[in-house]
Amino acid sequence: MNLSDPDLFRQAALIDGAWIARPDMEVTNPATGRAIGTMPDCTDEETETAIAAADRAMVGWRARTHSDRADILMRWYQLMLDHAGDLAQILTAEQGKPLAEAKGEVIYGASFVRWFAEEARRINGKIIPSPLPGKKIFAMKEPVGVCAIITPWNFPIAMIARKVAPGLAAGCTMVVKPSDFTPYSALAMGVLAERAGIPAGVLNILTGRPEAIGGALTASPVVRKLSFTGSTRIGALLAQQCAPTLKKMSLELGGNAPFIVFDDADLDAAVEGAMVSKFRNGGQTCVCANRILVQAGIHDAFVAALAKRVDALTVGPGTEAVAIGPMINAAAIAKIRDHVADAEAKGAARATAARDLPDAYADPVVLTGATLDMRLATEETFGPVAPIFRFETEAEALEIANGTPFGLAAYFFTRDMARAFRVAEALEFGMVGLNTGAISHAEAPFGGVKSSGLGREGAQEGIEEYLETKAFHFGGL
Ligand code: SIN
């Protein structure tokens, strides 16, 4: 890395305003497999210390005016933009995504900080007419309290921004546990948060393995909320661990997004949408199209056009001008290859040319003839694999699309406006894209139904997740 501000690269946890450096664990660059640095493996005692610090810091932080917190968040936003180049380099080094995409993630992440800086000033309560004379009822909004934030490796900056910014805007304090694959982006965000004026103890960042930290966070009665992005299996486990202390929870979990192309779709727009939705972050996105359903009349033209675009994708180290970087680790690559092998063994055919890529990379591939008995029909591949399922009727497409326990994102392409509303209403998903493959914006509610989780991030809904409503009954008037 060639950082213009090397101080952003911290190999230390942030607890109560102190940076704790201890070379317990290495972090590797997925492109080279070589270590880029170390980090402390924080213990449960250190987690307790961070929780206690966040609890003490609540008193001062919630007492600040909303506009004061908004100003601090706005400074954090501006610092992210000012340091976007360095943040992108750190992100690419630990996560692998191409530099241009990493910079896009920094800007995407910063958009949440800005959005919630603006929302901080609009945390309004209500006055409710009382059923009795001489009384008024106020619904007052208050911060939930100390929050535990557990973030994934696929969007290490954007997911912290999307969870921490609304919490801070609401007046909560935070204990953040970034993925042990990608701690440095989070720690750089911590440096910028300090520079923006976020006081000691308000934002704590713990590095290391998840078991001890997660166990202490979920068990603590002081922690009043947990927000997690990751797999459904771990989300369910965290929910179990949080049950005895009944924490408020936001869970953004796995998906199995259908992407439906009807015969009447604009072919070019559908192919472009598929590229955006499927190959963003090399397919390592929970809203990525996982099952591409194409109606018989447009099937061959769509496959030919998509395969041409996929064959043109460049793959290599994220520091070069490529479209797809390395996958996060060997386990991810093994799963992707297993899905493709399983599909081919069950009759799928490649519509794209085979490549001979080094071990760190996955072959971007379009597979035709996908069927429901294949692993990629029921599991998230989390890689650059585009399986095409052919269908005949709208009813059949909807049955396949909804035939999953997951309900995060769905996409469809049609020019028939009656069908647009019919299908949007019939899809059992938290987010639906019509004639677009891009659905991630700070302004839009993000989240799923069924096994894809609880709650919404971003948008006006995002700040509600960090607020409680207190009913204040005011008598004697
Ligand atoms: C995710 O994959 O977890 C988030 C993707 C997004 O924000 O678009």
- 448 CA distance to ligand 1 centroid (A)? 12
**Integer Cα distance of 474 and 477 in angstroms:** 8
pLDDT at 162: 98
> How sure is the predictor about 45, in pLDDT bands with cuts at 50, 70 and 90?
very high
Query: Which of 149, 316, 318, 160 lies closest to 227, judged by CA?
Result: 149
Beta bridge partners of 462: none
d(CA 94, CA 358): 18
pLDDT of residue 183: 98
| CB-count exposure of residue 414 (10 Å: 0-12, 13-18, 19+) | buried
Q: pLDDT digits over 220-250, tens only?
A: 999 999 999 999 999 999 999 999 999 999 9
Residue 457 appears among annotated catalytic residues: no
How much is the pLDDT for 273? Answer: 98
Q: Mean of the pLDDT values across residues 310-318? A: 98
- Counting from 1 in the atom list of ligand 1, the atom nearest the Cα of 252 is 3
Say what percent of the chain tops pLDDT 90: 100
pLDDT of residue 26: 98
Mean per-residue pLDDT over the chain, rounded: 98
Reported as a single tens digit per residue, the pLDDT across 10-30 is 999 999 999 999 999 999 999
Give tens-digit pLDDT for 348-370: 999 999 999 999 999 999 999 99
CA of 423 to the centre of ligand 1 (A): 23
**CB 285 near ligand 1, within 6 Å:** yes
Active-site pick, 105, 252, 380, 457: 252
Would you say the CB of residue 179 lies under 6 angstroms from ligand 1?
no
- Catalytic annotation on 464? no
Q: Which pLDDT tens digit goes with each residue over 141-176?
A: 999 999 999 999 999 999 999 999 999 999 999 999
Going by C-beta distance under 8 Å and a sequence separation of 6 or more, which residues neighbour residue 332?
284, 362, 382, 383
For residue 25, the surrounding DSSP H or E stretch is strand 25-28
Q: Is the pTM of this model over 0.95?
A: yes
- Give the residue whose CA is nearest to atom 7 of ligand 1: 440
Per residue in 198-207, pLDDT tens? 999 999 999 9
Sign of CA dihedral 157, 431, 380, 229: positive
Which among 227, 220, 288 is positioned nearest to 254, based on CA atoms? 288
Q: What does the pLDDT average to over 429-447?
A: 98
State whether the beta carbon of 440 lies less than 6 angstroms from ligand 1. yes
246-301: per-residue pLDDT in tens? Answer: 999 999 999 999 999 999 999 999 999 999 999 999 999 999 999 999 999 999 99
Nearest-angstrom CA–CA distance, 445 and 432: 11
With a 6 Å cutoff on the Cβ, whether 154 touches ligand 1 is: yes
What is the structure's pLDDT at 436?
98
Query: Residue 275: what pLDDT?
Result: 98
DSSP letter assigned to residue 42: -
Token pair belonging to 400:
């396949």
Burial code (b: 16+ CB inside 10 Å, e: under 16) for 382-404 equals bbbbbbbbbbeebeebbebbeeb
